[in-house]
Chains A and B, each alone.
Chain A
Amino acid sequence: MFQGTNLACVRGDRKLFESISFKLEAGCLMQVNGPNGSGKTSLLRILCGLSSPGMGIISWNDVAIGTLGNEYFRELTYIGHLSGTKDDLTALENLRISSALAGQKISDKQAQDALAYMGLRGRESLPAKVLSQGQRRRVALARLLVCKTKLWILDEPLAALDVGAVKLMQALLEQHLKQGGMVIMTTHQDIDVTAASTIQLQLA
């Protein structure tokens, strides 16, 4: 169970949001909505533990994430605005290294299968710098296929993706939720993910 209580975020002397509370059970999807600049990315970074909230507590299975440390990171996959792909590495190397970094060593075969699923067959050995924005996004998202984490925090995962890739993502998210995973995501695009329960979190 992932829970946030009374979260607030202050940037300079501007309050981005305050008294945000939510409770996420297994199989739950939380969509964070709000206009540009309402603090969606800040909220997601706080939920990951990259930055600390101005106020409030975030807990994973009733333990604060600050005290869990690496144990929490073992359950978490975060894909942010920046996709974390290295321009000079090939798609395959990018996927293998980022998975290893997340504590999940995968074989060449597994990486190739994941990339093929994301529609990158035949482009595995191209350096990321020659891939298009959407293809790079697909490389980053391919990590979701090989990771075995419970909580996915995705910041605009659908940005730059075409219709086919959005469908792939939708299926991927639904499968993850069905297996008892949790997803927190922001998006400006329409995506229809069926989940055991969906929470809509509106930031002003």
Chain B
Amino acid sequence: MFFWIVQRDLLLAVRRRSDVLTTLFFFIIVVSLFPLSVGPEMNMLRTMAPGVVWVAALLASMLSLGRLFASDYLDGTLEQMLLSPQSLPILVLGKALAHWMVSGVPLVMMAPVLGIQYDLPLDALFVLTFSLLLGTPVLSLIGAIGAGLTLGLRGSGVLVSLLVLPLYIPVLIFGAGAVEANMAGIAFDAHLSLLGAFLLVSIVFAPWAAAASLRVSME
């Protein structure tokens, strides 16, 4: 069942490529705006790179959260999911995985290329990509809770950012922190371990919370 839902969402994403590309281009443009506006000051660009890339990834992943449940809600498929004899948290986990593959993975793959604009050294690029790889699925999972809670509300786009952004802060701190630590020449594995821990905790708990919030929203 899990693979059915992942497959279905990926199929839908392939049929609507524009949705995927808007998120990716948003990320590329935001990250590229900074070097253009700040100027070619290499030291400054290097210090701000991890923060800028991570904040842009946060915003881009939030931009796509609206799509996570909204279209299923509008055409009645979500009702059918709630009435499915399959476990709802598993379905939610599948949807979050598909969301990450569609909106998170392209960002991760794009990040090293964008990092070059900031004159990041090779090993810092590697740490940046790896931290995004660990962190972006957490964003999709936590975002699913917010998307479930704000389903069908007016102005849900703004509301979901108010709900979800504060929860993203730990991921942001340790994600960007790993890269900064690497550039400062100190150990960064603690940051990455913490990101991994966030990922495991959110895989276990976020689907339950999101499933509960969907049931509440559909009442």
Give Cα A100 to B80, complex, Å.
11
The answer to whether A70 and B75 have CB atoms under 8 Å apart is no
- For residue B4, which residues in chain A have a CB less than 8 angstroms away from its CB? 97, 100-101
The answer to whether A84 and B77 have CB atoms under 8 Å apart is yes
Which of B75, B81, B87 sits near A82, CB closer than 8 Å?
Answer: B75
Give Cα A80 to B73, complex, Å.
13
User: Which chain A residue lies CB-closest to B87?
Assistant: A70
Which of A51, A83, A87 sits near B218, CB closer than 8 Å?
Answer: A51
Whether B83 is near chain A, meaning CB under 8 Å from some CB there, is yes
Which of B1, B11, B83 sits near A48, CB closer than 8 Å?
Answer: B83
User: Which chain B residue lies CB-closest to A84?
Assistant: B76
Chain A, interface SS category: loop
The answer to whether B85 and A97 have CB atoms under 8 Å apart is no
Which of A80, A86, A100, A127 sits near B79, CB closer than 8 Å?
Answer: A80
Give Cα A103 to B219, complex, Å.
23
Count B interface residues, CB 8 Å. Answer: 23
Give Cα A17 to B80, complex, Å.
25
Whether B12 is near chain A, meaning CB under 8 Å from some CB there, is yes
Please provide the chain B residues from 135 to 194 with a CB less than 8 Å away from any CB of chain A in the complex: none
User: Smallest CB–CB gap between A138 and chain B, Å?
Assistant: 15
The answer to whether B15 and A88 have CB atoms under 8 Å apart is yes
The answer to whether B80 and A84 have CB atoms under 8 Å apart is yes
Known A73-B85, A82-B75, A86-B75; judge A102-B80 contact (CB<8 A). Answer: yes
- For residue A102, which residues in chain B have a CB less than 8 angstroms away from its CB? 80, 83-85
- For residue B8, which residues in chain A have a CB less than 8 angstroms away from its CB? 89, 97
- For residue A89, which residues in chain B have a CB less than 8 angstroms away from its CB? 8, 11-12, 15
In addition to A83-B75, A84-B76, 15 A-B residue pairs with Cβ atoms within 8 Å of each other are: A51-B218, A70-B87, A74-B85, A78-B79, A78-B80, A82-B74, A84-B80, A88-B12, A88-B15, A100-B4, A101-B1, A101-B4, A101-B80, A102-B83, A103-B86
A-side residues, CB < 8 A to B, are: 48-52, 70-71, 73-74, 76, 78, 80-89, 93, 97-98, 100-103, 127
